[in-house]
Amino acid sequence: MDAQEFISVAWDAASTAGALIRGHWQRPKEIDYKGAIDLVTSVDRESERIIVDALQWAFPDHSILAEEETDRRKSQSSFLWLVDPLDGTTNFAHSYPQFCVSIALQYENETLLGLVYDPIRNECFKAVRQRGATLNDKPIKVSTTNEVDKALLATGFPYDRRDCADFYLTYFKAFMTRCQGIRRGGSAALDLCYLACGRLDGFWELKLKPWDTAAGSLILNEAGGKLSDFFGNPFTIWGEETLASNRLIHDEMVGIAERVVQARVD
């Protein structure tokens, strides 16, 4: 396997898609609704087409799963590309500059590489398994904050938040009353990358999809961070719970999340 070839093709695809996104982010958008608050724009779809076409041309035997319309999973392939062509669509639709392209490659169900590109800030986060993580090709590491009391955390809310607001807000309150501050950026992929480079100390969110977390989770792991579910069990991109940290505050964050669950049971 040539990881450099994989990352080179992924970067070419992400940068081309990023140029498209950058050219449209302050223009009027063509918006469709997948749900009451779940948006998709024509730029999401065009970005996905650019990336999928590039990956399919370079690696015709690989499987591809992307957020909007692409499910080209092949039973005989050990490689699976996971693509979010525009993570942070609601931000993009409102011309709020917090969104990115996210591309990951799995080999036999393990994430081999991840790339997250913010076309507005021109920041590209990359990681190859066991080779570390970078931001614009410079090595990055997680923060050294060792208490939740001193931590800046991030979160997001699932698309069913209008129906489950009280449930999601119990977690928000539990962390808000323990940490220094909470940010809600609107792009899980960027949240994980910001955690990887020390801009954040911890992150939690429910009901993320594999294309939301595949690239960012590898970048965070390679930068020295840690991920799990809300009970501290091993993280999987196919699960419904994502709890991530700089590793130093992980057990404390798990304890806070566990107490929320216990309070609901009691």
Q: How far apart are CA 133 and CA 57, in angstroms?
A: 27
Mean of the per-residue pLDDT values of the chain: 93
pLDDT of residue 40: 77
Domain region containing 229: 148-265
Same domain? For 125 and 155 the reply is no
Tokens found for residue 220 = 């965070």
Same domain, 156 and 116: no
Closest CA to 17 of 56, 60, 51: 51
How high is the pLDDT of residue 221? Answer: 98
How would residue 36 be classed by pLDDT, with cut points 50, 70 and 90?
low
User: What is the band of 39 on the pLDDT scale with cuts at 50, 70, 90?
Assistant: low
What pLDDT, on the 0 to 100 scale, is given for residue 158? 77
In this structure, of 32-41, 144-153, 202-211, 233-242, the range with the lowest mean pLDDT score is 32-41
pTM for the model: 0.94
Hey, what are 114's tokens? 């991840």
d(CA 140, CA 125): 9
Percent of residues, the chain, with pLDDT higher than 90 = 81
For range 2-21, the mean pLDDT: 95
**Whether residues 124 and 159 fall in one domain:** no
Q: Is the pLDDT of residue 126 over 90?
A: yes
Q: What would the pLDDT profile of 157-183 be if each residue is shown by its tens digit?
A: 876 667 668 888 999 999 999 999 999
Final residue in a domain of this structure, among 104, 122, 139: 139
> Which tokens is 223 given?
């930068």
Instruction: Please report where in the chains the tokens 């904050």 appear, as a residue.
Output: 145
Q: Look up the CATH number of the domain holding residue 114.
A: 3.30.540.10
Measured in degrees and rounded to the nearest 5, phi and psi for residue 31 equal -115, 130
Same domain, 121 and 196: no
In the chain, beta strands by DSSP E: 31-33, 39-41, 63-66, 71-72, 79-87, 100-107, 110-118, 123-128, 133-135, 138-139, 152-155, 181-183, 202-206, 226-228, 241-245
